[in-house]
């Protein structure tokens, strides 16, 4: 969703400045233009600056929160089903400046589920498109939160790694097409 229409914020809301990732409070009554609504979060422009608003705060824009795939899924019965749900969930994590999910961007290097008693721990190694990306901690937290939504997953560790360095060849063909790189 991208709209030229200005939407008045109906309450104060915490947001992240894009691309620095710094937290700020946007004030009730400010006029926002939505530029991206992917993965359940909202990228808006207010007074010429870009901000990311979490999906749980969709009401501030007069919108309903978007559910992730795990919110309607059953508890995975085996590792194969868990791996599928992990991929589905990670495909709902987006950089607020890039309209492609972190999986198709090639940012997720590994996901390792481990059975612990009657639950799962998931270890993720991922990277960023650039080492100085201020949104790194936000994307890291998004990935962790999305995986914790999977029924039976009680622990998630998302580690940002820099080896191997990310490059555009790690993107899926679909992502490259979507970004006009092919």
Mean pLDDT in consecutive groups of 10 residues from the start of the chain, 182 residues: 80 92 94 89 93 92 83 86 95 89 96 94 95 88 93 96 94 92 80
CATH 3.30.300.130 fits 70-178, yes or no: yes
Q: Which CATH number, 3.40.640.10, 2.30.30.40, 3.20.20.150, 3.40.109.40, labels domain 6-61?
A: 2.30.30.40
Contact 101, 91 (CB under 8 A): yes
Structure tokens at 157: 């560790």
Q: Give the pLDDT of residue 152.
A: 93
Domains 6-61 and 70-178 in one fold: no
Query: Where in the chain are the domains?
Result: 6-61, 70-178
Best CA proximity match to 109, nearest among 63, 153, 169, 166: 166
Rounded to two decimals, what is the model's pTM? 0.81
């Amino acid at each position: 969703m991208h709209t030229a229409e200005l939407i008045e914020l109906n309450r104060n809301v915490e947001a992240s400045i894009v691309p620095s990732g710094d937290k700020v409070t946007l004030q009730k009554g400010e006029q926002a233009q939505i530029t991206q609504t992917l993965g359940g979060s909202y990228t808006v422009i207010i007074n010429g600056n870009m901000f990311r608003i979490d999906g749980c705060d969709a009401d501030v824009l007069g919108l309903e929160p978007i559910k992730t795939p795990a919110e309607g899924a059953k508890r995975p019965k085996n590792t194969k089903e868990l791996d599928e749900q992990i991929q589905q969930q990670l495909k709902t994590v987006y950089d607020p400046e890039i309209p492609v999910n972190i999986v198709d961007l090639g940012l997720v290097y590994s996901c390792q589920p481990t059975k612990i008693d009657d639950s799962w721990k998931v270890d993720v190694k991922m990277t960023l498109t650039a080492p100085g990306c201020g949104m790194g901690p936000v994307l890291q937290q998004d990935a962790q939160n999305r995986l914790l939504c999977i029924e039976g997953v009680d622990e998630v560790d998302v580690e940002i790694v820099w080896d191997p360095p990310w490059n555009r060849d790690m993107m899926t063909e679909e992502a490259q097409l979507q970004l006009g790189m092919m």
